[in-house]
C-alpha cells in the first residue's frame, strides 16, 4: 500500500495554515503566479512600485490586496520576489527589511548564485528558485494563467535553510503544476548560460550579420530565420542583466560556442564534407534530448 498523497494545492494550503501569499512585483512572472494562486483559492497580497500598477492589478483580479508599500505583506507565510534581476542581486534595504519575520521567501530570478549571495545572509528562510517559463510580454498586463504548468521549476537551497522552508517552495511549484528540479545555484547558472543565455547572444549576432545582406536578405528571410533569432531579438535590458549577473558562466559558454563554430568553419574551409555531415548529424541527434 502507498501512503495517501495530498493534492498539491491542498498540500500548500496545509503548509500555509491560512496565511496569505505575498507577491512583490506583478509583471509577467509575478502576475502569472498570482493569477493561478488566486484561482486555487489562496489569498494573494501584492507590493508594487507604482500606483497605476496597483490599480490595474486589482482590476485584473491578480491580487486580493495590493499597495505601493509593503503593508499587505505583514501576515504572509510565503513571499515571492518576482522582481527584475538587478533588484534581486543588489536589493535595496527597504525590500529586505519589509520581509515579514518568519515568512519563507523565494524569488523567480533567472540567475541563482548572485541572488543567493545577496539575499541569504539577510533572510534566513530565503530559498532561491527559478521557474523555467515565460513569454515575450512584460508588465502588469503580461500575467497569464497556467504559465508554469508542466515547466521545470529550479530550487537551489543553500543548505542553510530549514527543511520546512524548502518544502514550502516545492509545494508552491507543485501547486502551480510545475516540476521541481533541485540543483545547486552554480550548476543552475552554468546550465542556463548554455541553454538560455548563449542563445540570446547567438541570435543577436545572427541578426547583425544578416543585416549586412541588405534588402534582399530581409526579403528572403523565412520562418527558419525568425525562429533562430526569436530570443536574440528579445528585450535588450534583460540580455544585459543576464550577461552582467552570469558573466563568468556566459563567457565559458561563449568560448565553447566559438570552438564549435571554428571547427565547423575549418571543415568547410578544408572541404571535409563527410566530417561536416557527421558534425551536423550529431546536432540532429542531440536536439531531441533537449525537447
Site for its own copies in 25-84 (CB under 8 A): none
Site for its own copies in 259-288 (CB under 8 A): 259-262, 264-265, 268-269, 271, 273, 276-284, 286-287
| Residue 289 is a binding residue for its own copies (CB under 8 A) | yes
CB-nearer residue toward its own copies: 43 or 155 = 155
| Residue 233 is a binding residue for its own copies (CB under 8 A) | yes
- State how far the Cα of 212 lies from the Cα of 215, in Å rounded to an integer: 9
Half-sphere exposure (Cβ direction) of 154: Cα atoms closer than 13 Å: 23
CB-nearer residue toward its own copies: 53 or 156 = 156
Helices and strands of the chain, counted as H and E runs: 14, 9
CB of 248 to its own copies, least distance (A): 10
Query: Exposed, middle or buried, 238 (CB in 10 Å: 0-12/13-18/19+)?
Result: middle
CB-nearer residue toward its own copies: 52 or 217 = 217
Site for its own copies in 123-162 (CB under 8 A): 132-134, 151-152, 154
- State how far the Cα of 105 lies from the Cα of 88, in Å rounded to an integer: 12
CB-nearer residue toward its own copies: 96 or 238 = 238
Question: Which three three-digit cell numbers place residue 272?
Answer: 571535409
- State how far the Cα of 153 lies from the Cα of 161, in Å rounded to an integer: 18
- State how far the Cα of 233 lies from the Cα of 207, in Å rounded to an integer: 8
Site for its own copies in 197-226 (CB under 8 A): 198-214, 216-222, 224-226
CB of 42 to its own copies, least distance (A): 26
| Residue 291 is a binding residue for its own copies (CB under 8 A) | yes
CB of 222 to its own copies, least distance (A): 5
| Calculated CA dihedral for residues 155, 159, 163, 166, nearest 10 degrees | -20
CB of 119 to its own copies, least distance (A): 22
Amino acid at each position: 500500500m502507498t501512503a495517501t498523497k495530498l493534492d498539491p494545492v491542498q498540500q500548500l494550503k496545509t503548509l500555509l495554515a491560512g496565511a496569505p501569499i505575498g507577491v512583490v512585483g506583478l509583471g509577467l512572472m509575478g502576475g502569472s503566479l498570482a493569477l493561478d494562486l488566486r484561482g486555487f483559492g489562496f489569498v494573494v497580497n501584492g507590493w508594487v512600485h507604482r500606483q497605476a500598477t496597483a490599480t490595474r492589478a486589482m482590476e485584473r483580479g491578480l491580487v486580493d490586496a495590493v499597495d505601493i508599500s509593503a503593508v499587505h505583506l505583514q501576515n504572509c507565510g510565503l513571499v515571492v520576489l518576482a522582481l527584475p534581476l538587478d533588484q534581486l542581486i543588489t536589493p535595496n534595504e527597504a525590500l529586505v527589511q519589509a520581509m515579514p519575520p518568519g515568512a519563507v521567501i523565494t524569488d523567480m530570478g533567472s540567475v541563482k548564485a548572485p541572488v543567493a549571495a545577496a539575499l541569504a545572509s539577510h533572510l534566513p528562510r530565503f530559498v532561491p528558485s527559478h521557474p523555467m517559463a515565460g513569454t515575450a510580454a512584460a508588465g502588469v498586463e503580461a500575467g497569464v494563467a497556467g504559465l508554469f504548468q508542466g515547466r521545470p521549476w529550479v530550487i537551489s537551497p543553500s543548505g542553510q535553510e530549514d527543511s520546512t522552508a524548502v518544502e514550502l517552495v516545492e509545494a508552491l511549484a507543485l501547486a502551480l503544476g510545475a516540476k521541481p528540479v533541485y540543483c545547486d545555484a552554480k550548476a543552475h547558472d552554468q546550465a542556463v548560460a548554455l541553454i538560455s543565455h548563449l542563445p540570446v547572444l547567438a541570435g543577436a549576432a545572427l541578426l547583425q550579420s544578416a543585416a549586412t545582406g541588405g534588402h534582399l536578405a530581409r526579403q528572403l528571410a523565412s520562418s527558419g530565420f525568425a525562429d533562430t533569432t526569436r530570443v536574440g531579438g528579445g528585450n535588450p535590458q534583460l540580455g544585459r542583466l543576464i550577461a552582467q549577473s552570469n558573466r563568468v558562466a556566459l563567457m565559458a559558454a561563449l568560448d565553447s560556442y566559438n570552438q564549435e563554430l571554428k571547427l565547423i568553419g575549418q571543415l568547410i574551409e578544408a572541404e571535409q564534407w563527410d566530417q561536416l555531415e557527421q558534425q551536423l548529424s550529431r546536432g540532429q541527434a542531440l536536439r531531441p534530448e533537449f525537447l
